[in-house]
Structure 1
Amino acid sequence: MQALILLAHGSRRAESNREVQAMAEQLAARLPGFRVSAAFLELSAPDIATAIDRAVAQGAGRVLLLPYFLAAGRHVVEDIPAIVEERRTHYAEVEMLLLPYLGAAPGMADFLAALVPTSP
Structure 2
Amino acid sequence: MRGLLVIGHGSRRWEANATVRELARQLADDQRWEAAVAAFLEVSHPDIAEGYGVLAAGGCTEIIAYPFFLFDGNHTHRDIPAALEAARESHPATRWVLSEPLGLHACVIEAVRARLADTLVRTASSGDRDSR
- Provide the TM-score with structure 1 as the length reference: 0.83
Q: Give 1:2 deviation, angstroms.
A: 1.4
How far does residue 5 in structure 1 lie from its aligned partner after superposition?
0.6
Give the gaps of 5 or more residues in structure 1. Answer: none
Matched, 1:46 2:42: no
2:64 alignment partner in structure 1? 64
- What SS does structure 2 have at the residue aligned with 1:38? strand
* Residue pair 2:61, 2:93 contacting (<8 A) in 1 also: yes
Aligned length: 115
TM-score by length of 2: 0.76
Larger RCO of the pair (alpha carbons < 8 Å, separation 6+): 1
In the other structure, the counterpart of 1:21 is: 21
The share of aligned pairs that are identical, in percent, is 35
| Shift >3 Å, 4+ stretches | none
Rg: which structure is higher? 2
Structure 2: tracts of 5 or more residues without a match: 122-132
1:3 shift after superposition: 0.7
Counterpart in 2 of 1:111?
Answer: 107
- State the Cα RMSD in Å: 2.1
Q: For the structure 1 residues 44 and 101, does the alpha-carbon distance in structure 2 shift closer, same or farther, using more than 3 Å as the test?
A: same
Instruction: Give the 3-state SS of the residue equivalent to 1:50 in structure 2.
Output: helix
